[in-house]
Chains A and B, each alone.
Chain A
């Protein structure tokens, strides 16, 4: 019989205690791997969302850059406008490959949600916008026909939510304006899924915003120097330049702050679980005080006892780590949903990505902590003198 077999059977002695300890480690491993998976997934999802916007630079009316980021990625209210003529000036820059003007408009819809909400419409130029969004595929219909301005193209989720088909008519809340759905996009995994696109003239004419736009999306040439290009754009009056790299960094910085907090909690959870392991193993050592002494009387060296107790700790952590990883993998969709409830902005696509390397790293971390946690109980057990245990027999 090998020492690890004895150790394994020792753990079976108090099944409930062993199971509860494993459960504690599993939960902390679950939290840890999910957070690390979130870290990976969120950045990836955000990058994909930004890449799928089709442009690298967004020009907006001067204002808060965070507002601009919100506008670009989520839509919003209290928008600032700029003159559409800026488009002609920007077009002249040599670094510009393609560009398109957009106007965002939000209207209050009392029927949205329990207390009503904002429905955002993105007014686009039917001639230039599709050129920047070449990855977009249609589930039904196509871009605007040009027959009338009262046409809409709905993102996949927007159409699903309102159960719309091509040919349906939708009413702009709070107005008598009616839009005919001419196209429904396939799922893109980006913000486009929840957007309702209309011709920009529709917004300009119906909401008294003639000659106004909220943003210009600019796709730069491949070898363009983004920094010097942005400097050029800043020379234009009353504009705000939003580099998508900058947006990404800003959002990632915000998320990183939250992540540090949550990661700290996860580390505390792991440490508590580890203290639980130390406590469990120490209790077990004290309960087996006499038995360990007897093992030594029959020839076990301190190192044998040390290995036996150490193995018990590492086994608990290893099994807990594996179960935690499986839980994280199996429940990643639930974690995804929970995180989306908490975050003010969530990119589309999977937010929690757990791959083999991450699972292995977490498992090794948990086992590594187990190796350290096991040192003290193992040393304590190895230090038991057989005589003390025999004396305690008569006590």
Chain B
């Protein structure tokens, strides 16, 4: 499904070059649930951004669905990255990023404004699946944190992605809501959705099938 080889991401701080991701190779199969863990600054968000085509690596190769995306030292344009993201990825973030002036249904359907992939879902089915159908006409400000993250998940799923990227999806939620989100992600994975998640939450990490630990930009262990 997704294969990254010798990914390096170097940032320059003044005259100092820092390898945020240092020669990481990882292969993720279709339907897998992979969790990246590690302390702050370990490079997990940088890695997930590269895997999710939000950023170019400095070096390395990335293949998605057997199609080469990045190859050695050939950065892709913002437009090309957007095209790849449209086809393959859905994203959820710690802060949800719902549009406050759009109601739940409109927020979920927002990605369809820009691109409608064949096989795109409908908002009502997703709302029912995530238990928020009675909130369809509520604004984000009227929802709890858990409900907002469910809306964000529905929004990520509306265009039928093959990979869901979740960056600290429970970072703003209490343990009860975190467990609920964990259950939802697990349910989606069981239906065949590939999930790549970054978290500090050990309980949530247990939900996933494979946990990869990072430190100083390198993979240090596989849980």
Write the residues of chain A forming the contact surface with B, with a CB cutoff of 8 angstroms: 1-3, 6, 9-10, 12-13, 290-291, 294-302, 304, 385-387, 390, 393-394
Contact = CB atoms under 8 A, between A and B. Distances in A.
B85 A297 contact: yes
A244 B115 CA distance: 69
Nearest to A394: B45
Contacts of B59: none
A2 B106 CA distance: 11
Given A291-B99, A390-B49, 10 more contacts: A1-B106, A1-B110, A290-B95, A296-B78, A298-B114, A298-B155, A299-B85, A299-B86, A301-B79, A390-B167
A387 B113 contact: no
A393 B94 CA distance: 9
B102 interface: yes
Contact of A301 (B106, B114, B167): B114
Contacts of A296: 78, 82
A302 B78 contact: yes
Given A12-B101, A386-B54, A387-B49, A295 B110 contact: yes
Contacts of A385: 78
A302 B80 CA distance: 11
Interface of B: 45, 49, 54-55, 78-79, 82, 85-86, 90-91, 93-95, 97, 99-102, 106, 109-115, 155-156, 159, 167
A34 to B, nearest CB: 35
Given A13-B100, A304-B114, A394-B45, A298 B91 contact: yes
B102 A9 contact: yes
A379 to B, nearest CB: 13
A192 B177 CA distance: 86
15 contacts: A6-B99, A12-B101, A13-B100, A295-B110, A297-B54, A298-B91, A298-B110, A299-B82, A300-B114, A385-B78, A386-B54, A387-B54, A390-B45, A390-B54, A390-B93
Contact of A291 (B91, B94, B97): B97
A369 B97 CA distance: 33
A246 to B, nearest CB: 62
Contacts of A294: 91, 93, 97
